[in-house]
Structure 1
Amino acid sequence: MLQIIAKDIRQQRLHRQRRGGELQKLHQTLSSLQLKSRHHCEQVDYYRHYITSCLDHLTTDSKSTNKKAAEKKKKLPALSYSAARLQEKGVLLEIQDLPPTQFRNVVFDIVPGPERGSFTVKARFLGVEMEEFLLQYQDLLQLQYEGVAVMKMFDKAKINVNLLIFLLNKKFFKK
């Protein structure tokens, strides 16, 4: 027993050195992880700034000398489409619990939202406003990237994501 204790006392210095080395490696790993974390945060900030600048670039008018074109764009703040028209374009696939013969009585108003890249979609049935839906352009692009072809709006209407993006690009964003 005494020999084991003596051996343990003699090897205490080696154990301390090993623990010190392991502790030093852990500190190096921690500092490199913090550095990498900072780098990733900077990258996220950079990409957020890039996305907002792209959306700003899409939505702002270029400095054109044609005043009529600028006035026309200012006069066109909202779009109104009947459900039948959207179905003809392929944007609207179906509305739950509503026969296609009633689609002419449903009107969708698409208005630019409070933030750049957002839209407010209002649904009216026979002139009575029914529901409102906040649509983020970035969310549509994410759905398109993920390969989602159909999304639900108002929990009742099925919308073709690609054709809705095409419609928004055509009507709201500069060419």
Structure 2
Amino acid sequence: MKKYSADTQSNLMNDRELIKANVKTLIANGTLESEDDLVKLICEEIRENNRLRKARKLEIEQLRLTRERLINKRKYYEEQRVFYERYIADCLAKQSIDDKQAKAKPTKGASFRLKSRKEKKVVKYSADQLIKKGILLSLDGDEVKNTKHLKFVIKPLLVNGQWSIEAFYLGVSVFTTKLILQELLQKQYENVSVIKLDDKAKVNVNLLIHLLNKKFHTAL
């Protein structure tokens, strides 16, 4: 047990007597009913401090998580800004090329180049290739269960940011659906990672957007 000096013991005794006197004063004026009330008040104060400490700790953790979410959202919007800037620049570049070709006098060579350019817009993949890329996740329906002879053809529509995607099994069309970039980006924003094409093919939204961006929206 720790030993105190005579002066310290004297001070402790004085403090004790002072506390007793103050407690008697509080009891006399009706603030306290008994000495036990003071102990109860001290216990309540300790519990309240513990509660406030836990509440502050929880609030700090919530603020930290909010900060992380805001940082991630800022990163997402920055990526979307870059994507849209590149998309708009690419559309303008393609429009400029189309305008120049429309104004130019048609020649045999120019006609061939224009035809070749349009043909390059069509993208073809086998189901196995899309599965390997992580884009195609699963298939429903008896006509599309066997991926060996299943092919997908993606081609842009007249409206920028829209494509048709058609699936062929042994050369026979089994389904056709339309892809709209704005809708895909909205799904991505809503954290929807998987969608179904024509209720048959489950695809990864992020990787599908990446493929469309890479094949159709990069600079020529």
TM range (shorter): 0.5 to 0.7
Q: Which amino acid aligns with 2:177?
A: F
Query: Are the equivalent residues in 2 in contact too, given 1:55–1:116 (CA < 8 A)?
Result: no
- 1:173 to 1:54, Cα distance in 2 relative to 1, 3 A: closer
Q: Aligned-pair distance for 1:143? A: 0.4
User: Any unmatched runs of 5+ in structure 2?
Assistant: 1-83, 98-112
1:135 lines up with 2:179 in the alignment: yes
Distance 1:107 1:136 in 2: 20
Query: Are the equivalent residues in 1 in contact too, given 2:139–2:145 (CA < 8 A)?
Result: no
Q: TM-score, normalised by structure 2?
A: 0.48
Distance 2:201 2:144 in 1: 12
SS of structure 2 residue aligned to 1:135: strand
Distance 2:177 2:131 in 1: 19
Following superposition of structure 1 onto structure 2, how do residues 113-152 of structure 1 map, counting pairs within 5 Å?
113-152=157-196
Q: Which residue of structure 1 aligns with residue 15 of structure 2? A: none
**Sequence identity of aligned pairs in percent?**
37
Following superposition of structure 1 onto structure 2, how do residues 87-166 of structure 1 map, counting pairs within 5 Å?
87-97=131-141, 102-166=146-210
Deviates more, 1:111-120 or 1:72-81: 72-81
**Selected match of 1:57 from 89, 98, 122:** 89
Question: Greater strand share, 1 or 2?
Answer: 1
Query: Are the equivalent residues in 2 in contact too, given 1:113–1:120 (CA < 8 A)?
Result: yes
Distance 2:143 2:153 in 1: 20
Corresponding residue pairs, total: 119
The one of the two structures with greater contact order (alpha-carbon pairs below 8 A, sep at least 6) is: 1
| 1:47-88 CA distance string (max 9 Å, x none) | xxxxx9975433343679xxxxx8775441201111111000
Question: Greater helix share, 1 or 2?
Answer: 2
- 1:101 to 1:124, Cα distance in 2 relative to 1, 3 A: closer
Q: Aligned-pair distance for 1:102? A: 2.0
**Who wins on radius of gyration, i.e. which is larger?**
2
